[in-house]
Structure 1
Amino acid sequence: MIELAVFDMAGTTIDDRDEVYRVLREATEREGARYTDDQFQQWMGTEKKWAIGNLLRIGGVEVTEQLHEKAWAWFREELRRTYTENPPQPLPGVENALATLRGRGIKVALTTGFSREIADLILSAMGWEPRKTFDASSCGDEVRDGRPEPDMIFKVMENLGIDDPATVVSVGDTAADVQSALRAGVTSVGVLTGHLTRGDFGTEGAHLVLDSVADLPEAVRK
C-alpha cells in the first residue's frame, strides 16, 4: 500500500514555461560555456548550483570558485526576477490529484533541484502551503547531495516517519528523477510533461510512465 507520493516540481507538478532551463543555460553560456542539447539535458532535474559547475566545465570553461559563485548568483537573481514577473502555474489536474491522494491518507511531498529561496517563491506565488497542499518538501541546497542521489527522497521520508521504501512512489519528468528514485529503492514514476518520451523513461528504468501527475491517483489505486 502506498503511504507517500514524492513529486518533483518544475515540469512535473508546475509549469514554469521552461524558464529554469533557459536561465540555467544562460547562466553558463554567458560565461563562455558551449555544449550540445544532449549534454545539457543530462543536467535537467539536478541540483542547480552543481549543474552550473558541471555545465561550465563541460562547456570548456576553467571553473574557479569566484566564477562559479558569480554564475550561481546571476542564476538565482534572474530566476527570481522572471518568476516574480510571471509566476509558474500548477500543471492541469495536479492540484486535484494531490488533494485526492491526501484525502486517501497518502502523504504528499515535493522535492526540487531549486534552492529553498526559489522553491518558497514559487510555492507562495501558487498559494501552496505545507500541511494544506503538501506535507513536506526538500530542496537541493538542504541535503548533502541533490539528484540524481536519493538524499531528498530520504529526507522527506524521515520527516514524515515513512520507513519502508516499498510504500513510496517518486514522480518526475527527468532522467535524474528516475535515477534518484531507483537509488532510494522506491517506485519510480515518469510523467510525459517534460522533455522525455516513454522510450526514454523505459531506458532509464522507470517502473511506470504516465501522461501526467493527474493520472497518478487512479494508477496507484490499482
Structure 2
Amino acid sequence: MIEAIVLDWAGTTVDYGSRAPIIAFKNAFAHFSIDLSEETIRQDVGLDKLTHVRKMLPEPEVSSSWEANHPAIPLAKATEEIYAQFQVEINKVLADTAQLKPGMTDFIKFANTHHIQLATTTGYNQAMLNQILPLAAKQGYNPAYNITSEQTNHVGRPNSDMVDLALKKMNISDPAHVIKVGDTVNDILEGKKRWHNFNWRCRRGQLNRAITARIQSLRHWGA
C-alpha cells in the first residue's frame, strides 16, 4: 500500500520544463559576461543551486570565460558572486513560472481520496521555496512537508537526507510504501540511495530530440 509520495518542485509539479532555474542561471552568468548553454545547465539540475554553480564553473568553456573576463577574481570567489546574482535572477521569475503542471489537479484529488501523504524535496533554498508555496497553495497544491537542504545540514541531492527527513516527519518507517517522483538525474540518484531497488518510469506522448536525449540520459543513470 502506498502511504506517501515525495515529489520534486520545478519541472515535476510546477514550472513545465523547469524554466525558472534555467533562465536564472543563464542571466546570472551573463551578468559576468559568460554565455552559458542550456545543455551545460541541465547536466546538474536537481542539485541545490550553490552546488550547481560549483559544478558548472570548472567546465572548460565556463572557467576560461571567467578567467578571460575576470582575471583578478579566483574561481572560488566566483562561486559566491555568481550564486548571489543567481538569487537576484531567480526572484524575478519564480512567481511567473509557479503554475502547476498539467495533470496535477487530478493527481492531488487522487492523493487526497486515497489518504496518501504528500511531501517534497527541492534544489531551491528555503527563501526560494517560500515564494512558491503560497502560489501553489492557491492552485490547490499544499504538501504537508517541504524539505530543503537547509533542514539537512546543507546535504542535498544526490544524497537521500532530504527524503529521509520527509519520511521521518511523516512517521513512515518502511520506504517500500513511498513513491519518489522527480524529473532529473539527481532525483534518480536520490531515490537510488534511499531505495536500493529504485526504478523509474516516464510517461510520454510526442517527444522531440532534446527530450528523447534527456530520457536516454536518465536511463543511463537510473535503472
How many angstroms apart in 2 are the aligned matches of 1:204 and 1:74?
31
User: Which stretches in structure 2 are left out of the alignment for 5+ residues?
Assistant: 67-73, 205-209
How many angstroms apart in 2 are the aligned matches of 1:45 and 1:192?
20
Distance 1:117 1:89, change over 3 A: same
Deviation digits for residues 1-50 of structure 1 (CA, Å, limit 9, x no counterpart): 22121111111100266121121233234335566654432211111111
Which of these residues, 59, 80, 94, is aligned with residue 69 of structure 1? 80
Equivalent pair of 1:27/1:75 in contact (CA under 8 Å)? yes
The TM-score, its normalising length taken from structure 2, stands at: 0.78
How many angstroms apart in 2 are the aligned matches of 1:83 and 1:35?
20
- Local SS of the residue matching 2:94: helix
**Equivalences for residues 17-96 of structure 1 within 5 A:** 18-31=19-32, 33=34, 37-58=38-59, 59-60=62-63, 61=66, 62-65=74-77, 67-84=78-95, 86-96=96-106
User: After the TM superposition, which of the residue ranges 29-38 and 51-60 deviates more from structure 2?
Assistant: 29-38
Deviation digits for residues 63-87 of structure 1 (CA, Å, limit 9, x no counterpart): 224x322222211121112224x24
How many angstroms apart in 2 are the aligned matches of 1:103 and 1:120?
27
How many angstroms apart in 2 are the aligned matches of 1:78 and 1:87?
13
Alignment partner, residue 207 of structure 2: none
Aligned length: 203
Equivalent pair of 1:172/1:191 in contact (CA under 8 Å)? no
How many angstroms apart in 2 are the aligned matches of 1:195 and 1:44?
15
Percent pairwise identity: 23
Q: Please state how far the C-alpha of 1:195 moved relative to its aligned partner.
A: 4.6
Distance 1:129 1:111, change over 3 A: farther
Alignment partner, residue 181 of structure 1: 191
Equivalent pair of 2:185/2:222 in contact (CA under 8 Å)? no
- Local SS of the residue matching 2:75: coil
Alignment partner, residue 4 of structure 1: 4
Alignment partner, residue 150 of structure 2: 141
Which of these residues, 196, 199, 211, is aligned with residue 216 of structure 2? 199
How many angstroms apart in 1 are the aligned matches of 2:211 and 2:45?
9
How many angstroms apart in 2 are the aligned matches of 1:80 and 1:177?
23
The TM-score, its normalising length taken from structure 1, stands at: 0.79
User: Which stretches in structure 1 are left out of the alignment for 5+ residues?
Assistant: 207-222
- Local SS of the residue matching 1:170: strand
Q: Please state how far the C-alpha of 1:140 moved relative to its aligned partner.
A: 3.2
How many angstroms apart in 1 are the aligned matches of 2:127 and 2:45?
19
How many angstroms apart in 1 are the aligned matches of 2:92 and 2:32?
20
Letter in 1 for 2:106: N
Flag the structure with higher strand content.
1
Runs of 4+ in 1 over 6 A off after TM superposition: none
Larger Rg: 2
Letter in 1 for 2:15: D
